[in-house]
Structure 1
Amino acid sequence: MAEQMFEVKGTFKIGDDWKPYTKVVGAPNSKQAEERTYATIGSEHHLKRMYITINGITPVDGE
């Protein structure tokens, strides 16, 4: 199955503040894009999933 590109928007908690983010991730479907976003942000910032929110996932059209 070919991977699509998805734009994922949301916020994550750093200290007392919630910082917005926008990421473009490759995944076969939107659920996998959500999981990859949690994994990426969690590992980069050492955060648990409860400190990461996803507000929207939209497919990105081709180049």
Structure 2
Amino acid sequence: MSEYTVTGTFQARDGWQSFETEIEAPNENVAEEHTLAEFGSQHGLKRTQIEIEGVDA
């Protein structure tokens, strides 16, 4: 599995907040899914409140 850097923004109480996170996944699509699941779980967000701007290996 490779390590991917996922960047984007999520909707916080005071507007949109940017983020950058490292995810270990077999491919870019799985890295995106793990990021959405992680932010949804940790911050109580729906997928529509998270915008992924890029996934880099």
Deviation digits for residues 24-59 of structure 1 (CA, Å, limit 9, x no counterpart): 000000000000000001100000000000000000
SS of match in other structure, 1:47: coil
Q: Which residue identity lines up with residue 22 of structure 1 in the other structure?
A: E
Q: Distance in 2 between matches of 1:37 and 1:4?
A: 15
The 4+ residue runs of structure 1 with deviation greater than 2 A are none
Backbone CA RMSD of aligned residues = 0.7
Secondary structure of 1:23's counterpart equals: strand
Percent of paired sites with the same residue: 40
**Partner of residue 47, structure 2:** 49
Q: Which residue of 2 aligns with 1:27?
A: 25
Letter matched to residue 53 of structure 1:
E
The amino acid across from 2:29 in the alignment is: K
- Offset at 1:16? 4.1
Shift of 1:15: 1.8
Asked which structure has the greater CA Rg, the reply is 1
TM-score, normalised by the number of residues in structure 2: 0.97
- Count of residue pairs brought into register by the alignment: 57
